[in-house]
Structure 1
Amino acid sequence: MVTQPSTTPTDRIQPDGDRRAAPGLDSHAALRANGNAPRPPIDLRGTIAVITGANSGIGFQTARQLAATGATVVLACRHPGRMAEAARAIRSEHAGATIDEVTIDLGSLRSVTAAASIITDRHPHVDILINNAGMIGGPGWRTLDDFEACFGVNHLAHFALTGLLLDRLLAAPEARVVTVSSTAHRVARLDPRAWPNPTIPDIYQAYAASKLANLLFAYHLHSRMAAAGIGMRSIACQPGWAATKLLSSSPRSLGRRASMAALRAAGAIIAQPAEDGAQSLLHASVADVPSGVYLGPSRWWHTRGPVRPQASSTDSRNAQAASLLWDLSIELSGVDFRLPDG
């Protein structure tokens, strides 16, 4: 069992997706195929989709649009009150929606284990697991398990959750694991052993490293499934520049506050609505795309536009680094992620 060291209030992490759900958004009963045009209605009744960070931003938009298809949507969020508000918003829009709510703190592996146990008890299979929730914190922020916060929340918790739900994923006829990365992965330093405990805290490098870790995990999961002859798909995606709460934290130093302010100002002009950012996640969840693909917006330097397959960095395709990260993640999380015959 993972131990849970004590922290001070200023060390507590703040994952994106645990903010107030935006009410009153325009509804689309059908998913949009490319971010622009409506696509024919999709019937996903009988499908069970688990989404982390599902009570605001792209997670909430993905949840509400999957609910419109008839899928059972499991909201997995840190803040119960905000999660309940998001569930009410979805039900008010889609009266027949089947919504489950599971509290999960991705900054605590103990909480991840408990949430996975609840999902396993309540649902016989998981058809779609969307590892969405992400955060960018301040220098020196740590998880309750004492890992660098971006690495712990954005990668390690999702690695553990996927492993803990593996039996339920394998019970589905054509399950998908959707891992949300970012174009920020391109500027990360490829040094997986340093990511959990960097010697020089840098919030931007930490975030970029966690997004590179997401891709290494998604690709390596695909490779291991292919080697084991498993039909489950592992699909990575990035939402472009979407208007979310990711930059809502307030770093202490003046220089970092200025950098964040500049990014927020640029985002106010460039960022697309969260509903549009969610199209990459929806495409990865329901479109006929192969395992091992990386999806994202195709225009404006991949910040917006129709969702298309795209190339990720050379480092993200480093098989040796992916294997090292996989083994390290098993060691740190305590989740022995074994695929059949793998």
Structure 2
Amino acid sequence: MNTHWTANDVPDQQGRVAVVTGANTGLGFETAKVLAGRGATVVLAVRDVDKGAQAAARMAGDVTVQRLDLTSLDSVRSAADQLHRTHPRIDLLINNAGVMYTPKQTTQDGFERQFGTNHLGHFALTGLLLDLLLPVPGSRVVTVSSTGHRIRAAVHFEDLQWERSYSRTGAYGQSKLANLMFTYELQRRLAAHGTTTLAAAAHPGVSNTELVRNSPTLLRAPLERLAPLLTQPAAMGALPTLRAATDPAVLGGQYYGPSGLGEVRGHPRLVTSSPASYDLAVQRRLWDVSEGLTGVTFPV
């Protein structure tokens, strides 16, 4: 396996359609820019369409903007409907958007904001778009997780929305663990369905992006000062996602992250997630609960 995989290793993407959530900045922007530069038709699925248009203007290639607010299931359904009207097929769905360490808030549907945005919004979007991916040879769903899925992370079914007590770190960890469990359960369902569509996951290590803006004040200033020493640029952080999305050697259910010490920085390679993430019973329960909360059922 290529141990120094870079954006130059992304194969030609001519004729492929890629939908990237949260693509107006950071990791999503870098991911979309590379895909568009390789010839893909790229849809920037973003909450702020003005910022999306500004991002699209900075990319070469066929790039359009689709409004998508993952904190609203109505918005997710509207975006999926619009994508059905404008694109008869999707080759790549990259669930990249996310929030981190937010104060206690809820989405428009009453879900804890990190869980609702990072997991439930993407769960619903994937289910509503999967029919556009299933007939496409080699199509992929790539969901971006985090090393945070290991930190105080569990799926708290007894208080899934953190109504009894709230921990920014715990809620973020739960949402990122859910991203992985969703990927693994989706892959099993896809394999049983007999499609060539696969599901994979990636994490960016510790990348210098705007995600840190919601960190507690006492942490934010030191993190910003130390960022150049402890993090890697967003363009490097996007490489695990790009590899999971485009490397012909990727298999369903695989997880990619940086190769360096602690998976903080480095070129993308195959990595493993926490033991908790591989719990089949919890994966299936989370899937059933997610279908109930979103009202979205999958065609697999």
Give TM class, smaller chain. Answer: over 0.9
Amino acid at match of 1:260: R
Which amino acid in 2 is paired with 1:223? R
| Partner residue in 1 for 2:52 | 83
What SS is found at the alignment partner of 2:78?
A: helix
2:187 pairs with one of 222, 231, 237: 222
Instruction: Please say if 1:336 is aligned against 2:300.
Output: no
Tell me the distance in 1 between the aligned counterparts of 2:271 and 2:5: 18
For residue 127 of structure 1, the aligned residue among 91, 99, 116 is 91
Partner Cα separation in structure 2 for residue 327 and residue 38 of structure 1? 37
Match of 2:120 in 1: 156
User: Which residue does 2:152 correspond to in 1?
Assistant: 188
CA gap of 1:190–1:134, structure 2 versus 1, over 3 A, is same
Structure 1 residue ranges, 4+ long, deviating more than 6 angstroms after superposition: none
Q: Distance in 2 between matches of 1:41 and 1:322?
A: 31
1: CA distance between counterparts of 2:162 and 2:9?
Answer: 47
In the other structure, the counterpart of 2:11 is 42
Q: CA deviation at 1:264?
A: 2.9
2:230 matches 1:261? no
Q: C-alpha distance in 2, partners of 1:330/1:217?
A: 11
Match for residue 75 of structure 2 among 91, 111, 121: 111
Instruction: State the 1:230 CA deviation.
Output: 2.1
Structure with a larger share of its residues in helix: 2
Report the Cα offset of residue 38 of structure 1. 6.4
Residue type matched to 2:250 in 1? V
Matches within 5 A, 1:15-54: 39=8, 42-54=11-23
C-alpha separation in 1, matches of 2:10 and 2:143: 24
| Contact kept? 1:139, 1:203, Cα under 8 Å | yes
Query: How far has the Cα of 1:259 moved from its partner?
Result: 2.4
Deviates more, 1:308-317 or 1:219-228: 219-228
Gaps of 5+ in 2: none
1:9 — aligned with what?
A: none
Tell me, in whole angstroms, the C-alpha distance in 1 between the residues paired with 2:279 and 2:229: 35
- Greater shift, 145-154 or 133-142, is seen at 133-142
- Relative to 1, partners in 2 of residues 1:83 and 1:199: Cα closer, same or farther, differing over 3 Å? same
Aligned-partner residue type, residue 130 of structure 1:
I
Instruction: Kindly provide the CA deviation profile for residues 192-246 of structure 1, in whole angstroms up to 9, marking residues without a partner as x.
Output: 4233344211111111110000000000101111222222110011011111100
After TM superposition, the score normalised by the length of structure 1 is 0.83
Q: Is the 8 A contact 2:135 2:195 kept in 1?
A: no
- Secondary structure of the equivalent of 1:308? strand
- Check if 1:233 corresponds to 2:202: no
User: CA–CA distance in 2 between the matches of 1:68 and 1:103?
Assistant: 22
1:165 corresponds to: 129
2:124 is paired with a residue whose SS is: helix
Kindly report the root-mean-square deviation, in angstroms, between the aligned alpha carbons of the 2 structures.
Answer: 1.6
Q: TM-score, normalised by structure 2?
A: 0.94
Per-residue displacement from partner, 1:57-94 (whole Å, max 9, x unpaired)?
A: 0100011100111100010000011000001111xxx2
Give 1:37 deviation, angstroms.
5.4
Q: Is the 8 A contact 2:184 2:199 kept in 1?
A: yes
Give the corresponding residue for 2:278.
317
2:52 maps to amino acid: M
Which amino acid is the alignment partner of residue 278 of structure 1?
Answer: A
Percent identity, please: 42
Instruction: Provide structure 1 residue ranges, at least 5 long, that are not aligned to the other structure.
Output: 1-32, 251-255
Give CA-to-partner distance per residue, 1:102-130, whole Å, 9 cap, x none: 00111111101100111111001110000
Tell me how far 1:281 sits from its aligned partner. Answer: 0.9
Rounded to whole Å, the distance in 1 between the matches of 2:193 and 2:97 is 28
Seen in structure 2, the aligned counterparts of structure 1 residues 78 and 147 have a Cα distance that, compared at 3 Å, is same
CA–CA distance in structure 1, aligned partners of residues 274 and 221 of structure 2: 28
Q: Does 1:289 align with 2:253?
A: no
One-letter identity of the residue aligned with 1:165: L
8 Å Cα contact 1:124/1:171 also seen in 2? no
Deviations 1:248-307 (A, max 9, x none): 136xxxxx3212333333323211110011101110110021001010001021011121
Secondary structure of 1:304's counterpart equals: coil
Which letter maps to 2:22? G
